[in-house]
Amino acid sequence: MNCELRANVPGFTSDTVDLFNRRTADNPDVGLLVLHRMAGVEGSSISVTSMMAPKAAKKAYEHGLQSLLKSRPGDAAKDFRKGVAVYPQYVRSVGESG
């Protein structure tokens, strides 16, 4: 009888939606369910392929990111190509991890 909907996501708490008064024929849209990040918990992902990249490839990638921030896409492309030339696995690794 007491039925609630809440998300279970590591690192977050969830609002709760009460489903007690809902009926089968009601609109299935229960509204917005908001997630709140727990204090001190940051999200991250790690790519082993990226971590194994040689220093020269990592440096070229970082320079490429800086060039993008400075609105120099031509320089960024050159740096990214250099990084991939040094470490071809970077193509897949950077694309997967963002």
Taking only the tens place, the pLDDT of each residue in 25-43 is 888 888 888 888 887 766 6
56 plus 33 within the same structural domain? no
Number of domains in the chain: 2
Assign 93 to helix, strand or coil: helix
53 plus 92 within the same structural domain? yes
Least Cα distance to 61 among 25, 43, 35, 86 occurs for 86
- The residue segments making up the domain with residue 9 are 1-40
Taking only the tens place, the pLDDT of each residue in 48-96 is 778 888 999 999 989 999 999 999 999 999 999 999 999 988 775 554 4
- Centre a 10 Å sphere on the Cβ of residue 68 and count the other Cβ atoms it contains: 15
